[in-house]
Structure 1
Amino acid sequence: MKVRGFTLVEMVLTMVVGSILVLGIAGFVELGSKGYADTVARQKIQTQAKFVMEKMARELRHAVPNSFAVTSSTSKQCVSFYPIVYSGFYALSGYDDKTLQFLIGNDNPPLSYNNLKMIINPTTQADFNNGIGLEDKVYVTTDPDTGDDINNRDLPSPLTSQSVSNRQYIYNQLVSYCLNFSTDSITRNSIQVADSVASGEFSYSPPTLQRGGVVHLALTFAQNGESSHFETDIQVLNVP
């Protein structure tokens, strides 16, 4: 029997067909890899957006009421506020109402009031510059009826304004979330918490008789030619 090999034409056809198959498979693999990479990138930006929105919402929702301010410049826009460190109720005593007595409602009251201030019935963020200093000025007395410890702070002058519900808030550091237009990022007290922020806007609506204050967040995240827009209204839960 005569053994017959491939002819030149058959070899060329085989190589051409094989090359076409390889190119097709390579293109399919590349398309699948690109699709996977795009999915991962999209998931990353979505996760980052949800994280920063939830983080901001949690802090803003539980901040001291009326401690908000929105500032804007050509390079950035910021929303600032004072987080609640401790809170509770107060009463005034003494013939001239210059002895402030207060209770802390938190489960773990402070052992020290260093660097802490108290605010009662604030109306704007500027009021926090004149908060009641507590450092080295708080002394404890015992209620003769209940035996409970009561914190006391002698005031230099009577309060200019009082809370209808006798609420007091203790705070220290101002927190600022800033949308930086030049770097497409969001920072919290100058520490970056999100990137790929193409645009955004912060706004604040003061409280009314029907509702508490509302902070509006609108952020657009963009990556690889795709963008996702997130928008939410955050109602401040606490009242003065």
Structure 2
Amino acid sequence: MQRRAAFTLVEMVMTIMIGSIIAVISVQFISRSAQSMLDTGERQRLADTADIISEQISRRVRYALPGSLRVTSDQRCLEFMPLVSVTAYTRLDRGGLSNSLTALPVSATDSVSGHLSIYPILGNLYNPSTAGPLTRTEETLPAGSAEVDIVLSEPHRFPRTSPQQRLFISGAPQTICQQDNWLYLYSGYGFINNTNQLQAALPSAYSTGREVLANQLQTGSLVFSYQPATLRRNALVTFSYTLQDQRGNTLSLAQEVQVRNVP
């Protein structure tokens, strides 16, 4: 008599249980792998945002007018004057107010405009007058292939000369601040003598001079500090901040930037 093979009830139940266990393990493995990929992507996005923020701040610090960097008392804002160009003056009247000076052009075809300054590390750059290191009005360095005369809009006296005869041309003041989760660059607000009044004077919209640099900053995390130059080192700007995404992942960074420009 031929015997027939078949599953018993116990074998069937065992097979179902083992299959269920394998299925659960497979689902958990796939789920954790997918979650790991999502977490890696979120961390990478935070790292990319951090690169953008650090580069935006560092680049502006490196190309700031010497002596123009300053930090508000709460360490939340960094103000500076961006450099437009640097050249050398060849004639400078020191006796009193002067209507002109002579300098080397930076281009044979294009003129350059901005506030002129000589040895700007002395004096208050944010309260310009007719007798200080920075001109009160924007002036124009003409184009040319030889020495050119800069005719000033108003008479001015520079109190100090530069050892290397450097003449800086800079733009109007700008400020980097955090507001809520956003990082902004402010411009077009003019000269504010007292840093305690700076934040109240900053524009509140893009149309008036507020530009978005980045977001995802943890509220109140951005902190600036500034150390003036000494005989042994250049001026130093330090900043730190924390990024936070919608899933709660955080990334904290701190960076130091040397101000390479010398007067």
User: Normalising to structure 2: TM-score of the pair?
Assistant: 0.72
Matched, 1:239 2:262: yes
Distance in 2 of aligned mates of 1:206 and 1:92: 27
Aligned to 1:120: 118
Aligned to 1:79: 78
**Cα distance 1:109–1:63, how it changes in 2: closer, same or farther (>3 A)?**
farther
How much identity, in percent, do the aligned residues show?
Answer: 26
**Further displaced range: 29-38 or 43-52:** 43-52
Deviations 1:37-83 (A, max 9, x none): 1111112212221232133212211211011111155xx81111111
Aligned to 2:189: none
Mapping of residues 7-46 of structure 1, within 5 Å: 7-46=8-47
1:29: how far off? 0.6
Aligned to 1:204: 226
Distance in 2 of aligned mates of 1:125 and 1:37: 53
Secondary structure, aligned partner of 2:82:
coil
Matched, 1:185 2:182: yes
CA RMSD of aligned residues (A): 3.1
Distance in 2 of aligned mates of 1:69 and 1:35: 43
Letter in 2 for 1:111: S
Letter in 2 for 1:100: L
**Further displaced range: 93-102 or 202-211:** 93-102
Aligned to 2:243: 221
**Cα distance 1:29–1:87, how it changes in 2: closer, same or farther (>3 A)?**
same
1:17: how far off? 1.9
User: Normalising to structure 1: TM-score of the pair?
Assistant: 0.78
Distance in 2 of aligned mates of 1:158 and 1:195: 44
Distance in 2 of aligned mates of 1:157 and 1:111: 21
**Cα distance 1:175–1:201, how it changes in 2: closer, same or farther (>3 A)?**
same
1:207: how far off? 1.6
Unaligned runs of 5+ in 2: 129-133, 187-209
Contact 1:49–1:194 (CA<8 Å) still a contact in 2? no
1:134: how far off? 4.1
Aligned to 1:88: 87
Distance in 1 of aligned mates of 2:116 and 2:155: 14
Letter in 2 for 1:185: W
Secondary structure, aligned partner of 1:86:
strand
Distance in 1 of aligned mates of 2:234 and 2:17: 73
Distance in 2 of aligned mates of 1:227 and 1:108: 51
Matched, 1:170 2:173: no
1:138: how far off? 6.0
**Cα distance 1:94–1:25, how it changes in 2: closer, same or farther (>3 A)?**
closer
**Count of aligned residue pairs for this structure pair:** 227
Secondary structure, aligned partner of 1:122:
coil
Aligned to 1:194: 214
